Amino acid sequence: MSYYSINNRTKIVIKIFRVIDNFLNLVYGGYDMKEKQILKIGKLDFLWETDNPFLFCAHHKDAFPKGNDKQEVDAKQLSGRNIGNDFQIKDGFRMYHGDKVPGFPAHPHRGFETVTIVLEGFVDHTDGNGSTGRYGNGDVQWMTAGSGLQHAEMFPLVYKEKENPLDLFQIWLNLPKKSKFTDPYYKMLWAEDIPVIDVVDNSGKKSKVRLISGTFADVKSLTPSPDSWAANPDNHVGVELIQMEPGAIIKLPAVSETLSRNVYYYIGESIGIGETIIEVNHRAKLAGNEEITITNGAKVSYMLVLEGEPIQEPVVQYGPFVMNTQKEIQEAFIDFQKTEFGGWSFDRYDPVNSSGDSRFARYPDGRVEERGPFKS
């Protein structure tokens, strides 16, 4: 028997559609810049504005409490919440679309990719192809929805003796028309395998770059999904996490006039780009054909960099479907109603794995990757 009734599950899927669609219809604040390196600055919230080829980036930061034997939130802490659609911070966390375990029960995607970077905490992955996994504490999952896939992303409270903080980015990366109906695919980029580049400036100050995608200082990232826009190096798709010690300087190279480039500054006090001071919790949209020098202020700073060549095609999006025409969006709804994109073979729509902080991935072809707890 399914954990959710079909009616409740349909309501959850519709809510997901509306949350995403409302975000995409927002007109962002921010201000345009006269300085040629900086095109725009805007404040960061839960959902971050991106530029083509990216669709958006969500920053999930929750102070989840101690878990129970089922890796759930204690029932007493669920009082006063809009269970099933809980996006308001209360007691330091949100339940999102989860009931007892926070997260996102089974929902569909078509026509794009998700890149999920977990800085702290854990995610349990389940999908309609039969894949399962648990990843976190520095791991990255790269998933291609392609022709259509259901998946669940739950945030298990693996620790009973201590709190379970979660800090992650989920980035939506578009697929070109030729790849929108590719077979669904996912792979893991395990934390211990991701390249880390140490950068030392002329004053001896240090920065670290965790390279999720692309090339930095002649170092190449792990390979993304094979049909990804990022798989072609000419598309210059870069996803980088940068940590800078106080006073450090780092340079982002000039790439091309058409490159989209954004720096999301989420921890620290201030950084300088040219003569402009940017305070923490701001996004800076930068020119792609300029070498960018970033000078850190008085505190350790952390930022996410997203860059890439735009996909020069129409983008039509409704909820978790991203296509090229309105007709294709309508067809996606019809296909999902008819096939559920291959269905769902699990006995609940919000599955979690056995307790513990070991990480693993089980793929549709039967392969299993097992990793123990990771300590950076």
Quick one: pLDDT at residue 4? 37
How many angstroms separate the CA atoms of 15 and 112, rounded?
20
Quick one: pLDDT at residue 33? 54
Question: In which residue ranges of the chain is pLDDT below 70?
Answer: 1-35, 375-376
103-112 in b/e form (b: 16+ CB < 10 A) is bbbbbbbbbb
Phi, psi of 265 (to 5 degrees): -100, 105
Which tens digit of pLDDT belongs to each residue from 111-166?
999 999 999 999 999 999 999 999 999 999 999 999 999 999 999 999 999 999 99
How many angstroms separate the CA atoms of 307 and 319, rounded?
23
How many angstroms separate the CA atoms of 228 and 232, rounded?
8
Quick one: pLDDT at residue 1? 26
- Closest listed residue to residue 39, CA positions, set 314, 307, 251: 307
Other Cβ atoms closer than 10 A to 32: 9
The sign of the torsion formed by the CA atoms of 121, 58, 139, 262 equals: negative
How many angstroms separate the CA atoms of 323 and 146, rounded?
10
What separation in angstroms does the CA of 146 have from each of 151, 180, 302, 306? 13, 5, 32, 21
- Closest listed residue to residue 243, CA positions, set 333, 304, 327, 315: 304
Domains of the chain: 6-32+54-192+318-342 (2.60.120.10), 195-308 (2.60.120.10)
